[in-house]
Amino acid sequence: MIDLHTHSLFSDGELVPAEHLRRVEVLGYQAVAITDHADSSNLDFIVPRLVRVAADLNRHSHARLIPGIELTHVPPGMFAELTIAARRLGAMVVVGHGETVVEPVAPGTNRAALEAGVDILAHPGFISEEEVRIAVDRGVFLELSGRKGHSLTNGHVARLAIKGGAKLAVNADAHGPGDFLTPERARAVALGAGLSEDDYAAIRRHMAELVAGKP
């Protein structure tokens, strides 16, 4: 089990990273990324601390903590520079907070995040076929969300991703202990979006490959 979009108390989550990692370790996770919400005001505060705590905790845990960040409600024109800055600070997974239908995300955010080369475009709402083609070209994963509200457009995202050949990720967008996905719940998110068992197997394989490519 791998999840690449979760939050700790460095933004609006409930847990310190140590408890966060321990709880998913008990659930049998291989890896989890903490991707707290950031913009230019707090990026340089969050990422170095997650890098440091990951180095500490990974010496003692069977589950791997991956330091990341979610660029959230960032003006589209700032996505490229902040994605570069996040990687320079040590973020191994950069998530773009996509145009979910339940928040007033600025139009053009999906495209800006994709063109910036984030790793994952989270809850991209009614993403367009053109944007899916950009995701394929840039190797960006599109998210199927386990979070209430964001999950409303999972079926649309899954349909266009399969049609266009984009890679998918199933993530919890967890903010607290009750949000972490079990393997059964993650499978339900995928199949509930209209995917097949083979599609879900491909999602798990591609997510594992992404994690394996992170040093």
The pTM of the full predicted model, rounded to 2 decimals, is 0.98
List, for residues 140-173, the tens digit of each pLDDT value.
999 999 999 999 999 999 999 999 999 999 999 9
For residue 121, list its beta bridge partners. 96, 142
Could you say which residues of the chain have pLDDT below 50? none
CATH number at residue 112: 3.20.20.140
pLDDT value of position 215:
81
Spatial separation of the C-alpha atoms in residues 64 and 24, rounded to whole Å:
10
Domain total in the chain: 1
Range of the structural domain that residue 189 is part of = 2-212
